[in-house]
Amino acid sequence: MSTTANAVSDSFKPSLIIPWITLGIIAYFCLPWLALEYGLTDATLDEFIDALGWRNNGATIVVPLFLLLFVIVPRFVRSGRQCGWIYTCASALAILTIFAYFITANLSMGLGAAVILMALSAMFAIGIAEIGFQRGDRFIAGSVIFVILLVCVFVFYPTWTIFQTLLYNADGSFAPFQFFRIITAFGVGRVILNTLLLAMSVGAATTLFGLLFTLYATRSTSPLRYVIRVFYILPIITPPFVVGMALILLFGRAGMINDGLMFLFGPQGILLPDTFARSGYVYGFWGIFLAQTLSLTPVAYMVLNGMLATINPAMEEAALTMRAGRWETLRDVTLPLLRPGIANAFLLCMISSAADFGNPLVLGGDYDVLSTEIYFSIAGAQLDFAKASALGVLLLLLSLSVFVIQKKWVGQKSYVTVTGVQTAGNVIPLPGRLQKMLSAFVVIWLLLVGVLYFSIFLGGFVKQWGADYTLTMAHHKELWLGGFSSGAWPSFINSLIFAFIAAPITALIGILIAYIISRKSFFGKGIIDFGTVLIFAIPGTVTGVAYILAFNTPPVELTGTAVILIITMAIRAMPVGIRGGMSALSQISESLEEASVLQRASSLKTIRSVLIPLIRSTIVSSVAYSFIRSMTTVSAVIFLATAGTNVATTYILSRVESGDTGIAVAYGSILILTMLVFTLAVELITGRSRVEKQVKTNLKTV
Amino acid sequence: MKPGETNITITLKKVFKRFDEVTALDDINVVFEAGTLTTLLGPSGCGKTTLLRIISGLETVSGGDIFFGGDNVTDLSATRRDVGMVFQSYALFPHMTVEQNVGYGLGVLKTPQDKIEERVREVLDMVNLDGYQARYPDELSGGQQQRVAVARALILEPKVLLFDEPLSNIDSKLRRSMREEIRHLQQSTGITSIYVTHDQSEALAVSDEVVVMKDGRILQKGPPRSLYHRPESAFVANFIGESNVVEAVLVNGNDGHRVEIGGIDLALPRNMHIPANPGPVKLSLRPEVLHIEAKSEDKDSACLDGVVTESAYMGPIIEYSVKTAVGDLFTRGPAYETQHPKGEQVQIRIRPDEIIVIPGNGD
């Protein structure tokens, strides 16, 4: 691990401490100590003033006085180390006291209190740096503290409230076996089984199809293989449940395909009368299965494609020089070497299926899975937080175990056969018959996907899908032409703004986390490591439930605000930022940083002048991808969006639930278009394959 | 496999290869004699690997013909050509044991299992790895992996053996013994072999013949000695061994040829082959034909005057750079003689019978 060598100073420079203390004191006097009922932007002046610390409770005047102490202490204490200890203990004490105050008084923290806590944390970081943490590197110490705080507040704390909800009954009594009671209750077993069955089938199907597509894209000689590149873009720009909606448009009771089938095979059918009856066959297992397979196969494709690229072409050539034909080479060499990738793809798609919320919601019918069951426990009439927590814990455990399996078992077994020196090599084309069959398969698939997307766009212009196919602009008019505060605009603008704020936060924090994890070792690293595992593994639904439980009550009350949505989006997209950061940093030799340090540069300067310019393109693509993810996320925000903070995806879902298919589909199509334009614009500006690369990076295990 | 039973002559006629705009091989006409080991040598990008891969069948030609013995194999794929290839990265199948790796080809040909085991044992014995059948490639050292790769190439008794820079990934200490093993194997089996390397001392040590390539063309083909002592171009002179290239004037006198180098006049031996016309020529002076001496008072007609500009002690020898009237000359002197320090006035004695005249009057 590289180290920085900032000398531990023997006396504090005032320029370090004064800005933070000043910030804290100003925050105390000018920003609300208590949380405002209606948020910062909607509160009246009176409410604002009432929330100020010194107006509310005179005793809180100790806070600014305490802060002043930090400035005075260095004058009386000789050595830097002693000062460091004092700082560390004092600020820790202060932070804990403030938290205790809010918790016991059952009050919610306001912006002012938050800023003061931040200033105190900075003092803590400076303190431990003086003691010798991280060799006196204040920037790293500060970053570590910051990340630990972030992880504790926004990952550990909410997760813990889920467990807490399980351990205590509604009336407050301790109930350690509530979890088991809930999951053995009637119906829950069925839900669990449904989820697992679906997940495994989808995992198997997507891996198989992904494999076929990958072989086709890299080994076939037909020009069709270039069309498969579209696979990179589709799953990114499509909100998860849109595929489900499109399937209903085509195969639902009133679906277009059904109409056609009725025409040909129904009671008055012209081809084979009375062999077909309208039914809701697309709802339930098969519908969800189809929707998820269509959505997730590109993911399996990308995993396997990445894996295939690590296989040295010389392997296959060697087999050829040993008289093996194309079939034998495929069977004996290529496929066995792909085994780790196949396992990876299976696990990844399996867990994506289990975590998927949108498609089961739209297509589920009677087929209940964990994610929808969790949603209905809270959103429906039940309001059974214990049940939601129990099921959430199950889903989380499932996801965590898959993540661990992936990391420990599959990750180790990759046969990386590309050595440093590359021999020139062509890939061996597919056996002829296989290629023909796959071509047909690819064509059918692409046709289906094409028809799906076409119907999404068409559906926005159709008066009443299934009944009245006259083209109309009514839906789009309602959405877009009613002025900026009606129709789709509020939610659309919200989505844009929130994603726009969340994306850079995600990218930067992700890179910071990646930096301190990959370059530094320190006391407390385990916390951050585990925190990042949780960030990667936690399904969206569980995040949503956890955030509702954690942030609905003091001391940190954020539900109903825009802030919580931004934070949720940031956390949901964080894996993108972290993985991108780690991948970029792994390309940069540590000796670059060491050279900078030898030139007396501080950590901050090294990061700013050496690292960031080198990984600039990763940052850009990270931000872009996070933005897209935030725009299309649904499973977590569905719990947290309110009438005032609606986002595009939740708005669409609510219109689906009220039966306004036309509007929902119209909005969905515009959302897809926006994402498509954005992706293309980013690719144009930053150079072709940035987003592709980012997507590929995100499919490697950490 | 006895010498003479399976060896064939490889003939290339008018072979060329283009990749889009780039011509990788240009008008290649060459014969590789049966039973020989020929090395393709040249700088990066000269086309040697492309040529090797074309002979193997892993690349197709853009034009021209390839013959194995009397058979035109141009349109045959690698699978049908009966070649064995040792790859730079060895390309051992990581998911198979040594036995499965080596026996793979026999398996494809549906040979019965006991016969496979027997043949694998024979071949592994030839490379001194009998007993390693159950190991996996990642359990072997680099040298061992190399030998398994060679065994795998040999087991099908191919007509041609191809080596693609097989020793680049081996540490230098091991390289010499591996090189000798490969040469030994090739000679005992007698299979016509083609070897690609960028290390010219390896090429000289291992080959019956060396082919020097540049920019997709063959510049010269011949036994190592010819290439070293009779380079046909300045490029080959510079590429093989070290040389000081100086300008001189060739004079055709009554009693043989003479060269005028920087003011001194040297008579060339009568039976020396002079591939150039009288007039300005370029000479290649290998460091070993130049002897550095303390400057003597008498003017010696075989010596060039000079000043030492670099003098580096290397252990057994001392390397010198000497500035003379014809430029900076590089030479070596034994360490047991007193080292000539920088700035000293010296003279360089030239042995006339070792002068190499570069053909073509200075190409």
Q: What is the pLDDT of residues A325-349, one digit of tens each?
A: 888 888 898 888 888 888 888 888 8
Q: What is the mean pLDDT of chain B?
A: 88
How many A-B residue pairs are in contact by the CB < 8 A criterion? 79
- The answer to whether the CB atoms of B87 and A423 lie below 8 A apart is yes
Closest residue of chain B to A311, computed from CA coordinates: B91
Strands B37-41 and B209-214: parallel
Q: Which residues of A touch B159 (CB under 8 A)?
A: none
> Between A124 and A74, whose confidence is greater?
A124
What pLDDT score does A635 carry?
A: 86
Choose the weakest-confidence range: A348-362, B20-34, B347-361: B347-361
How close is the nearest chain B Cα to the Cα of A320, in Å? Answer: 5
Q: Determine contact, residues A575/A657, Cβ cutoff 8 Å.
A: no
Distance CA B210, CA B196 (A): 10
What residues of chain B lie within 8 A of the CB of A339, using their CB?
Answer: 95
How many other CB atoms sit within 10 Å of the CB of residue A189?
11
- Sequence-ordered list of residues with C-beta below 8 angstroms from that of B110, at least 6 positions apart, any chain: none
Q: Which residues does B118 contact at the CB level (< 8 Å), separation at least 6? A: none
Instruction: Name B291's bridge partners.
Output: B349
The Cα A576–Cα A165 span in angstroms is 30
Distance, CA of B33 to CA of B52 (rounded, Å)? 15
Specify burial of residue A198 (Cβ count, 10 A radius: 0-12, 13-18, 19+). buried
Assign 3-class secondary structure to A475-541. Answer: HHHHHHCCCCCCCCHHHHHHHHHHHHHHHHHHHHHHHHHHHHHHHCCCCCHHHHHHHHHHHHHCCHH
Kind and range of the H or E run holding B195: strand B192-197
**CA dist., res. B122 & res. A654, Å (int):** 74
B53 in reach of chain A (CB within 8 A): yes
Q: Report the range of poorest mean pLDDT among A150-154, A341-345, A697-701, B78-82.
A: A697-701
Statement: residue A217 has pLDDT above 60 = yes
* Inter-residue contact A54 to A28 (CB < 8 Å): yes
Higher pLDDT, B246 or A486: B246
Convert the pLDDT of each residue in A582-613 to its tens digit. 877 877 777 777 777 777 777 787 788 878 88
pLDDT at A2: 38
Higher pLDDT pick, B93 / A35:
B93
Distance of CA A174 to the CA centre of its chain: 34
B87 touches chain A (CB under 8 A): yes
Q: How far apart are CA A371 and CA A543, in angstroms?
A: 11
* Model pLDDT, residue A3: 38
Beta strands in A379-418 (DSSP E): none
pLDDT at A579: 79
Tell me: the pLDDT tens digits for A462-496?
Answer: 877 777 778 888 888 888 887 777 788 888 998 99
Disruptive mutation site among B53, B92, B108 for chain A (greatest number of A CBs within 10 Å) = B108
pLDDT at A473: 84
Query: Is B93 within 8 Å of A419 when comparing Cβ atoms?
Result: no
Shortest distance, CA B59 to any CA of chain A (angstroms): 8
Contact present, A386 and A164 (Cβ < 8 Å) = no
CB contact (8 A) between residue B58 and residue A325: no
CB of A539 within 8 A of CB of A371?
Answer: yes
Q: Which residues, including other chains, have CB under 8 Å from residue A13's CB and lie 6 or more apart?
A: none
C-beta atoms of B109 and A323 within 8 A: yes
Pairing state between β B244-253 and B256-261:
antiparallel
pLDDT digits (tens, 9 = 90+) for B340-354: 899 999 988 888 888
Residues B152 and A322: their CA atoms lie apart, in Å, by 8
| CA closest to A338 among chain B residues | B95
Task: Write out the residues of chain A at the interface with chain B, using a CB-CB cutoff of 8 A.
Answer: 312, 314-315, 317-325, 328, 332-333, 336-337, 339, 415, 417, 419, 421, 423-426
Look at the alpha carbons of B298, B304, B307, B310 in this order and tell me if their dihedral is positive or negative.
negative
- Range name among A366-380, A549-563, B124-138 with the lowest pLDDT average: A549-563
Contacts of A59 (CB under 8 A, 6+ apart): none
Task: Give the pLDDT band of residue A691 (cuts 50, 70, 90).
Answer: low
Bond from prior residue into A360 cis (ω within 30 degrees of 0): no
* pLDDT above 70 as % of chain A: 90
Tokens standing for residue B331: 């030479």
The number of residues making up chain A comes to 702
Alpha carbons within 13 A on the beta-carbon side of B158: 28
CA A56-A59-A64 angle, 5° bins: 95
The one-letter amino acid at A24 = G
**What pLDDT, in 10s, does the model give residues B35-83?**
999 999 998 888 999 999 999 988 889 999 999 988 999 988 888 888 9
What is the distance between the alpha carbons of residues A503 and A694, in angstroms, rounded to a whole number?
14
Q: How confident is the model at residue B170 (pLDDT cuts 50, 70, 90)?
A: confident
A129: tokens are: 């740096």
A416 → chain B, closest CA residue:
B94
Per-residue pLDDT band at A14 (split at 50, 70, 90): low
Is the backbone of residue A560 left (phi > 0), alpha (psi -120 to 50) or beta?
Answer: left
Among residues of chain A, what percentage have pLDDT more than 90? 5
φ and ψ of B12, to 5 deg: -115, 130
CA distance B85 to B40: 15
- The pLDDT of residue A133: 77
Q: What are phi and psi of B41, to 5 degrees?
A: -125, 145
Q: Do A321 and B83 touch (CB under 8 A)?
A: yes
- CB-CB under 8 Å, A320 with B77: yes
Comparison of pLDDT for B108 and B321, the residue scoring more: B321
Q: What is the mean pLDDT of residues A197-205?
A: 94
Between CA A315 and CA A337 the distance in angstroms is 10
For chain A, give the mean pLDDT. 81
pLDDT category, A694, cuts 50, 70, 90?
low
Q: Between B313 and A3, whose confidence is greater?
A: B313
First and final C-alpha spacing in chain B: 46
pLDDT given for residue A422 in this prediction: 43
Q: Which two tokens stand for residue A437?
A: 């069959």
pLDDT band at A555 (very low <50, low <70, confident <90, very high): confident
pLDDT per residue as tens digits for the range A220-272: 787 877 787 776 677 778 887 888 888 888 888 777 777 777 777 777 777 77
Any bridge partners for residue B213, and if so which? B218
The secondary structure element, H or E, covering residue A473 is none
Q: What is the pLDDT at residue A40? A: 63
Interface mutation target, options A307, A316, A323, chain B, most CBs of B under 10 Å: A323
- The whole-number average pLDDT for the span A501-510 is 90
- Give B310-318's long-range contacts (Cβ < 8 A, gap of 24+): B310/B342, B311/B339, B311/B340, B311/B341, B311/B342, B313/B339
Residues on chain A touching B94 (C-beta within 8 angstroms): 337, 415, 417
Residue of B nearest to A425 (CA): B58
pLDDT above 60 (res A424): no
Q: Report pLDDT for A330.
A: 86
Other beta carbons less than 10 A from residue B22's beta carbon: 9
Q: Which one is predicted more confidently, A168 or A424?
A: A168
The interface residues of chain B toward chain A in range 152-211, judged by CB-CB distance below 8 A, are 152-153, 156, 164, 168-169
B256 touches chain A (CB under 8 A): no
What confidence tier does A690 reach under pLDDT thresholds 50, 70, 90?
Answer: low
Does residue A423 carry a pLDDT above 60?
no
A294/A449 Cα distance (integer angstroms): 8
Q: What is the pTM of this model?
A: 0.77
Helix (H) or strand (E) holding B320: strand B317-324
CA angle, A526 then A527 then A530, to 5° = 80
Q: Which of B201, B204, B236, B205 is nearest to B220 (CA)?
A: B236
- Tokens, residue A279: 């039914």
Mutate to test the interface with A, among B19, B25, B89 (most CBs of A within 10 A): B89
Query: Which residue is listed with tokens 């448009």?
Result: A249
Question: Distances from the Cα of B22 to the Cαs of A25, A423, B54, B62, B216, in angstroms?
Answer: 70, 19, 16, 12, 10
Measure in Å the smallest separation between the Cα of B211 and chain A Cα atoms: 21
Q: What is the pLDDT of residue A7?
A: 39
End-to-end CA distance of chain A: 19
Which tokens go with B38?
Answer: 């020929």
- Average the pLDDT over B86-108 and give the result: 89
